[in-house]
Amino acid sequence: MKLIMAVVQDDDSARLMEGLVEAKFRATKLASTGGFLRSGNTTFMIGVDDEKVDKVLHVIRENCQSREQFMSPISPMGGNTDSYVPYPIEVEVGGATVFVLPIEKFVQY
């Protein structure tokens, strides 16, 4: 068995949990912040049999892969309009940092 620790962005967190449940994997979410990824993030802890590690990685990549996205600029609210960009800008979102750890023993009570 392996313990997979995956740090993903908060925005992708609900979608990843859904993807894992659909694929019949069970995960625990740890509240986490900063560091590996740009904004708020969540750390998933997933215990799986060796032969299913690739399947879990597939689900993570499908739901969290780093990608470009067009963001509509927020209209300035009574602020300085000089810096206002009136067209959508491209930003990078998502991404996952994944550690696969060996397990010496796994028990359930």
Shortest separation between residue 4's beta carbon and a second copy, angstroms: 9
Query: Which positions from 1 through 30 interact with a second copy, judged by CB under 8 A?
Result: 2-3, 5, 7, 17, 26-30
Q: CA gyration radius for the chain?
A: 18
Site string for a second copy, 31-70 (x = CB under 8 A): xxxxxxx---x-x-x-x-----x---x--xx--xxx----
Query: Which positions from 78 through 107 interact with a second copy, judged by CB under 8 A?
Result: 94-107
- At residue 69, φ and ψ (nearest 5 deg) are -145, 140
Half-sphere exposure of 40 (CA within 13 A, CB side): 6
Angle CA 22–27–30, to nearest 5: 140
Shortest separation between residue 77's beta carbon and a second copy, angstroms: 30
What tokens does 57 get? 């990685």
Contact 77, 25 (CB under 8 A): no
- DSSP-based three-state secondary structure for 36: coil
Nearer to a second copy, 33 or 69 (CB): 33
Q: Which residues bind a second copy (CB under 8 A)?
A: 2-3, 5, 7, 17, 26-37, 41, 43, 45, 47, 53, 57, 60-61, 64-66, 94-109
